[in-house]
Structure 1
């Protein structure tokens, strides 16, 4: 198994702050941030103990490609990607919501629906749906952006009522979310995939709304293979998918859903390797490009050198 990076502890000249997310280490400067995509993996809002080789590179490079491919829809935070695991960009003030958009009844939405709920984040769902069915139209089901612990489902009405986002800004976020999902759906279809659901995060920089974080990666999105989708639905079979859902299902089958009192099961080496291979598979399938494994022998030093060079540049 090649090297993997679980966390970083750099001290850069001019650094104003540091934030450790579930997956990313964020180094803050006066007007910019340097974001290191580590190989950490999270599920049910819990960071799992073992890092996944090349996962950070996969996420960083997919996000870079699709941020560039959607820059005509909404401006984004990126100014450069000086390393396979690093993105540098504008320091935006993030909105405290994640804009989740769903075109199909899958994952969390399917679990809620199976439990009898027909109202998800204030959006009514029709009776008679099966898991993974296409919804009549894409729906936005926002979540709160928690600094710690679990993100929580929230309705548009609650967001506006609590003043988390202004009505004017929320209308723009909705418009951007639908347009980005439509573009992501088109790109996925060209590669023989279905973009099932995904999430977008936004922030403000100098009064303007920007798309931030990552987009259309296996951490933020769920993909089905288009081939066989209709037949699988007709026969009630599981859909073949490229996403992090298989990790969640493995955890569920091993008695873990992130609930109080539950312990994270030990992931065997073979499963860590399988996760790495699945992430690389998604990279190649969704981008249509061959994944080139970066040198991981001195991974931390390579990353530090790239950021320092960018700061001086």
Structure 2
């Protein structure tokens, strides 16, 4: 089997029984189960949710996205070997660590396969919850250009690139395009302040103003748990994005949970501790790939300027990246995953076949 065949690039064509269109995002595809199958699994498996809770199968892929584009390699390599398994393994590890530390639950009910989650339906909070412990990336570029206020928070003078911030900063942005909120531009991924959120709590999807403080607490606690754990591995948790949502508990009450993924190389920056102490930045996340793209193409403004999205999409579509670049990403993802979970990540020769067999034999979900 070739390298390209081992990669799970297309994950929206599995024969999972569903009556709704498959939703395919940048990395994951979501199959909503029928009401009959959802109720059956809840009863058979004893999932701690109300009997009428809609369930979904969430299948990760090995696709690699950066700057809102999907990239591919030479020789039909349409993903990064091991990336999906690494991402899920890391998220599973942190979600379990959060539970062990008494933090909130996640939307995951079951993990049938390293590429697959069974999740309960959640109502997402419309915020990209971002926490930063170091000044780097876009924040550093803005600071270096003279900006001092970020999401309503004023930073002091005299900060240096890649240095630790005086305190953990929460710099939220919008998730999706939100309309009709005073002071918030109608665009995806725009920075917002705490005042924006508290003045418009329901528009952002919060049940109450009190839940804003709850999300901030969970963000700080989650960041702290991951940061402390990585520090014991001599790795630095630089910044991250969390997502939150509401699900129903067994009594039918709403509860705020962590959702999507947490602490992964896709959603976070992680730096190597020994290299940082030597004055070097060694990325253990997607940021290294982003920097490679910025250095590789002659006009990096295409990747940074949202007004040039058509050119950016063409750049990703028309340029097959060297296989060695894709394999370097693979080594980064698998390396940090194995460091975090403490054991090797086992890769599948034929993930689609495995997933289909498990969901057929153990869950009865294949049409």
With normalisation by structure 1, the TM-score equals: 0.91
Q: Does 1:285 align with 2:343?
A: no
The 2-side partners of 1:153 and 1:304 are apart by: 41
Give the number of the structure whose residues are more often helix, by fraction: 2
The 2-side partners of 1:37 and 1:95 are apart by: 22
Q: Does 1:222 align with 2:269?
A: yes
Alignment of 1:83-102 (within 5 A): 83-102=113-132
Alignment length (residue pairs): 306
Q: Is the 8 A contact 2:22 2:29 kept in 1?
A: yes
Secondary structure of the residue that 1:5 maps to in structure 2? coil
Aligned to 1:66: 94
Aligned to 2:59: 36
Unaligned runs of 5+ residues in structure 1 are 233-237
When residues 258 and 4 of structure 1 are mapped into structure 2, their CA distance, relative to the original with a 3 A threshold, is: farther
Aligned-pair RMSD on alpha carbons?
A: 2.1
- Per-residue displacement from partner, 1:169-219 (whole Å, max 9, x unpaired)? 211100100000110111101111111111111110121111111111100
Which structure would you say has the larger Rg?
A: 2
Offset at residue 282 of structure 1 (A)? 1.1
The 1-side partners of 2:304 and 2:272 are apart by: 28
Alignment of 1:21-170 (within 5 A): 21-29=25-33, 30=35, 31-49=54-72, 50-71=78-99, 72-146=102-176, 150-162=188-200, 163-164=203-204, 165=206, 166-170=208-212
Q: Is the 8 A contact 2:89 2:341 kept in 1?
A: no
Offset at residue 118 of structure 1 (A)? 1.1
Offset at residue 17 of structure 1 (A)? 4.3
Aligned to 1:182: 224
The 1-side partners of 2:139 and 2:28 are apart by: 26
Q: Is the 8 A contact 2:14 2:352 kept in 1?
A: no
Unaligned runs of 5+ residues in structure 2 are 36-53, 73-77, 179-186, 249-253
- Runs (4 or more) in structure 1 with deviation over 4 Å come to 147-150
With normalisation by structure 2, the TM-score equals: 0.78
